[in-house]
């Protein structure tokens, strides 16, 4: 069957943030000017950034936590959290992932093919994580927790995942413990920081446009 242009458009007009489709973004993106109307950037945060986080990351995490079985769902929660961290940092930098094989064209200025640098940059540079992570610790966390959980549903090199720390810390590096219930509010604290900064910072706005135009 031959696909007409209307059907082709519909097939390519996928959801990118909640019920917002690519076509909605294209229309709205034309109104966004870096350094321009702060109210529009607040709307961009809520309608696109926050909606994408909520439906693709935060609500699934809440669903898993509410199961309350304590029978291994922590690994799935941390896997989603680690995926979210990469999205957050790549949005801050305005970069997009591209799998690069031998013979492929070189990466563009705003592309990356290795996740380690993106992931570690978030932990070392972004509040409130930058209060707990050094570069060395971020690298160890990436290799032992992030990669272990995403690739094999396990942690490595003596790291463990527990539910909650009474101290409120995200990690206990000497004991190699990640507290996944403390990890979550720390991520939400960063999202609140980004919400405050995006309407007034042109560098974040430029990066936001690059990221969402690449989705």
Report pLDDT for 51: 98
Structure pTM? 0.91
Q: What is the pLDDT of residues 45-104, one digit of tens each?
A: 999 999 999 999 999 999 998 876 667 788 999 999 999 999 999 999 999 999 999 999
DSSP letter, residue 179: E
For residue 187, how many other CB atoms are within 10 A of its CB? 21
Sign (positive or negative) of CA dihedral 128, 133, 139, 142? negative
Q: What is the pLDDT of residues 118-137, one digit of tens each?
A: 999 999 999 999 999 999 99
The DSSP line for 152-173 is HSS--TT-EEES--TT--SEET
Whole-number Cα distances in Å, 211 to 53, 101, 133, 196: 14, 22, 26, 19
HSE value, Cβ hemisphere, 13 Å, CA-based, for 32: 27
- Average pLDDT for the chain: 93
**Max intra-chain CA distance, the chain:** 62
What percent of the chain is modeled with pLDDT above 90? Answer: 86
């Amino acid at each position: 069957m031959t696909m007409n242009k209307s059907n082709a458009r519909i097939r390519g007009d996928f959801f990118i943030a909640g019920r917002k489709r690519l076509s909605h973004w294209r229309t709205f993106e034309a109104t966004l000017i870096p350094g321009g109307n702060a109210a529009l950037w607040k709307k961009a945060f809520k309608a696109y950034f926050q909606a994408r986080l909520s439906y693709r990351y935060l609500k699934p995490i809440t669903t898993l936590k509410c199961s309350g079985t304590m029978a291994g769902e922590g690994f799935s929660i941390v896997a989603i959290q680690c995926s979210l961290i990469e999205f957050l940092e790549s949005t801050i930098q305005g970069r997009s992932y591209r799998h690069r094989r031998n013979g492929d064209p070189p990466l563009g200025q705003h592309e990356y093919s290795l996740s380690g640098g993106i992931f570690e940059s978030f932990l070392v540079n972004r509040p409130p994580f930058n209060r707990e992570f050094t570069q060395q610790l971020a690298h160890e966390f990436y290799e032992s927790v992030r990669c272990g959980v995403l690739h094999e549903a396990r942690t490595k090199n003596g790291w463990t995942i527990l539910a909650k720390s009474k101290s409120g810390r995200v990690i206990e590096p000497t004991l190699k413990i990640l507290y996944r219930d403390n990890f979550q509010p720390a991520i939400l604290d960063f999202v609140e920081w980004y919400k405050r900064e995006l309407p007034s910072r042109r560098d974040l706005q430029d990066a936001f446009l690059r990221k969402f135009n690449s989705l």
